[in-house]
């Protein structure tokens, strides 16, 4: 079954419960009004619409494209469109080349700039989290094991029984179904998780039944060949800052046409940027160390 998320911007009140739930389910530090980065997979932006001057809240997250350009650009197959609908990535495979960042038409994947071994991160539609179950085996130390007997690792964290229970709670909705943490947390049902065809039908129903409340467009139905995150709005998507000039055909083919002309430049730039990062940090470490020594010496003198 292919899943999707429906974001109805007409219902969103900008409370940020979705961003907080996303941080909690991944054990990321909680930040108010975060920007999209390697530790925040979704954001809420306040947009003032030009004509009316009204304010709108716009959620940003990975669109889980039906034919993801990020996956087709990845040299090592770290990104995968699953049958579940989620586009997931394998942190063990990712080499941090950033081809996916270049390829994504929605500017979603972000780089772990603060890591010495940086990878690319993005929303996974809570794929691993939704598949954790209370009956999974534990090892003697209390860590959850997968079907092959390996410890389950999510966002670099080995999952304990306690973590598992928290994650299950955060990804179980009122109907007792597993869902993305952001949709479970949304108090307005502005973010809803479900089966893709049913959510698309629901989006069409809302527009047909209340034509005065919506613009007649489901953003994500056709863009880049269709995505698994749909948006509804009562003002034009253009006025809310959505990319509205995207083609309806999928992007993987175009991605390769662009990337095949520049791989050496990108790889070289990636390595160079990594080196600059390392040197910069090393310099800062040395500077800090020197200052500590100086301070200790002056204290001794005193
Ligand atoms: S939105 Fe970008 S990162 Fe997400 S699946 Fe599509 S191409 Fe990949
Ligand atoms: S689907 Fe999961 S990972 Fe993606 S934004 Fe929602 S809570 Fe975060
Ligand atoms: S939790 Fe729901 S209402 Fe609150 S900001 Fe997120 S989408 Fe909007």
Q: What is the pLDDT of residue 293?
A: 39
Question: Closest ligand to 125 CA?
Answer: 2
DSSP assignment of 105-159: TT---EE-TT-SS--EE---TTHHHHT--TT--B-TTSBBB-TTSPBPEETTEEP
Q: What is the pLDDT of residue 271?
A: 43
Residue 61 Cα: closest atom of ligand 2: 5
pLDDT in tens, the chain (302 residues): 899 999 999 999 999 999 999 999 999 999 888 899 999 999 999 999 877 889 999 999 999 999 999 999 999 999 999 999 999 988 889 998 999 999 999 999 999 888 888 889 999 999 999 999 999 999 999 999 999 999 999 988 999 999 999 999 999 999 999 999 999 999 999 999 999 999 999 999 999 999 999 999 999 999 999 999 999 999 999 999 999 989 887 766 665 544 554 444 444 444 444 444 443 443 344 344 345 534 554 554 43
Q: How many angstroms separate the CA atoms of 18 and 59, rounded?
A: 9
Terminal alpha carbon distance of the chain: 72
Protein residue with its CA nearest to atom 4 in ligand 1: 62
pTM of the model: 0.84
Pocket test for ligand 3, best of 58, 191, 233 (most atoms within 8 A of CB): 191
Helix pair angle (17-25, 161-170), 10° resolution:
160
Q: How many angstroms separate the CA atoms of 122 and 38, rounded?
A: 7
């Amino acid at each position: 079954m292919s899943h999707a998320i429906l974001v109805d911007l007409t219902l969103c009140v900008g409370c940020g419960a979705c961003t907080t739930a996303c941080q909690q389910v991944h054990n990321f530090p909680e930040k108010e009004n975060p920007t999209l980065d390697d530790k925040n997979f979704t954001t809420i932006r306040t947009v003032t619409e030009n004509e009316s001057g009204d304010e709108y809240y716009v959620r940003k997250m990975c669109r889980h494209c039906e034919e993801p350009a990020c996956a087709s650009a990845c040299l090592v197959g770290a990104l995968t469109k699953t049958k579940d609908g989620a586009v997931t990535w394998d942190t063990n495979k990712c080499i941090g080349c950033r081809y996916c960042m270049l390829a994504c038409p929605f500017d979603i994947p972000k780089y772990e700039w603060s890591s010495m071994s940086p990878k690319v991160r993005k929303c996974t539609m809570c794929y691993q989290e939704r598949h954790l179950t209370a009956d999974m085996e534990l090892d003697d130390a209390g860590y959850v094991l997968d079907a092959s007997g390996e410890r389950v690792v999510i966002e670099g964290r080995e999952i304990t029984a306690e973590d598992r229970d928290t994650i299950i709670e955060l990804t179980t909705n009122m109907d007792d179904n597993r869902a993305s943490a952001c949709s479970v947390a949304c108090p307005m049902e502005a973010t809803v998780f479900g089966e893709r065809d049913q959510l698309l039908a629901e989006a069409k129903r809302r527009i047909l039944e209340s034509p005065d409340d919506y613009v007649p467009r489901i953003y994500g139905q056709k863009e880049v060949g269709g995505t698994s995150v749909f948006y509804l709005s009562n003002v034009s998507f253009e006025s809310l800052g959505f990319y509205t000039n995207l083609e309806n055909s999928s992007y993987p083919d175009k991605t390769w046409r662009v990337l095949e002309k520049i791989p050496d430049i990108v790889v070289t730039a990636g390595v160079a940027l990594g080196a600059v990062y390392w040197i910069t940090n090393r310099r800062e470490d040395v500077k800090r160390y020197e200052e500590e020594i100086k301070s200790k010496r002056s204290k001794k003198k005193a």
